[in-house]
């Protein structure tokens, strides 16, 4: 079965550079979530989108922005990168079907960002 | 903050059942209990979820107490590949997942 695709899988950047992470949800999934997992930490929610509109916002820095496109893929844009941004970034997708109880999120393999 | 409490670590012998407890004493009526696991830096993997009835699928069973204040995830025959961090998450419909510390399960040969 098709899974969530994230690219790139690994990314190395210098401080103050910018980075763009991409997420391709499972076909027919309309909702995308972004999570950040620092070294030795648990995943932390950043932001989510439903039908191309931001639906919820977590602990996402102002230097980060994200959007969901008409084909439902999403991009996380990160500017003025800091050493502390080094982390695994996971994207998850789901279907926000009205009345459905099966609203579990399916996670992608993640993008490992290293800021030097 | 996470709404659940789990033991930080557990060991289980290979081939035996692994029983992972979770306390969620402040759960509200509309909130589901979800279990995910993360195997060494891979994306979290969905295991099972439930509202108030016990649930079973090909991976595990979920036992929820009648008052819904706690639950147990059961892996019936643990293998070495089940070594992972297991997260118990309480969540309302449509909300994002709040991951707590989880339980680090080590399956021993």
User: Any idea which residue has 């204040």 for tokens?
Assistant: B69
User: Do the Cβ atoms of B44 and A44 come within 8 Å?
Assistant: no
Chain A residues with CB under 8 Å of B101 CB are 42
pLDDT value of residue B3: 85
Based on DSSP, count helices (H) and strands (E) in chain A, helices before strands: 0, 11
pLDDT one-digit tens code per residue, A41-78:
999 999 999 989 998 899 899 999 999 999 999 999 99
- Higher pLDDT among residues B107 and A2, named by residue: B107
User: What counts of helices (H) and strands (E) characterise chain B?
Assistant: 0, 9
Token pair 């999570």 is found at A35
pLDDT at A100 over 60: no
Angle at CA of residue B26, ends B24 and B32, nearest 5° = 60
Chain B residues lying within 8 Å of A42, measured CB to CB: 87, 99-102
Neighbouring-strand partners of residue A68: A74
Distance CA B109, CA B107 (A): 7
Distance from CA of A36 to the nearest CA of B (A): 11
Which pLDDT value is given to residue B41? 85
Token couple for A73: 């893929």
**Residues 6 or more apart from B95 whose CB is under 8 A from it?**
A56
- Residue A59 in tokens: 């602990």
* 8 Å CB contact between A60 and A49: no
Percentage of residues of chain A with pLDDT beyond 70: 94
Contacts of B95 in chain A (CB under 8 A): 56
């Amino acid at each position: 079965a098709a899974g969530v695709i994230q690219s790139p899988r690994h990314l190395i950047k210098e401080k103050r550079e910018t980075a763009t992470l991409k997420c391709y949800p499972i076909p027919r999934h309309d909702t995308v979530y972004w999570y950040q997992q620092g070294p030795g930490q648990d995943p932390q929610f950043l932001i989510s989108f439903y039908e191309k509109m931001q639906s919820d916002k977590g602990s996402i820095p102002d230097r980060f922005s994200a959007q969901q496109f008409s084909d439902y893929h999403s991009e996380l844009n990160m500017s003025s990168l800091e050493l502390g941004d080094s982390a695994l970034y996971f994207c998850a997708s789901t279907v926000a079907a009205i009345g459905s109880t099966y609203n579990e999120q399916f996670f992608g393999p993640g993008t490992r960002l290293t800021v030097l | 903050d996470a709404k659940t409490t789990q033991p930080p670590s557990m060991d289980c012998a290979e081939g035996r059942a692994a029983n992972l407890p979770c306390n969620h004493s402040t759960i509200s009526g509309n909130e589901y209990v979800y279990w995910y696991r993360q195997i060494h830096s891979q994306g979290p993997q969905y295991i099972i979820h439930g509202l108030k009835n016990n649930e079973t699928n090909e991976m595990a069973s979920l036992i929820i107490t009648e008052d819904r204040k706690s639950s147990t995830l059961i892996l019936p025959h643990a293998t070495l590949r089940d070594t992972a961090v297991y997260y118990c998450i309480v969540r309302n419909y449509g909300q994002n997942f709040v991951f707590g510390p989880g339980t680090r399960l080590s399956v021993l040969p």
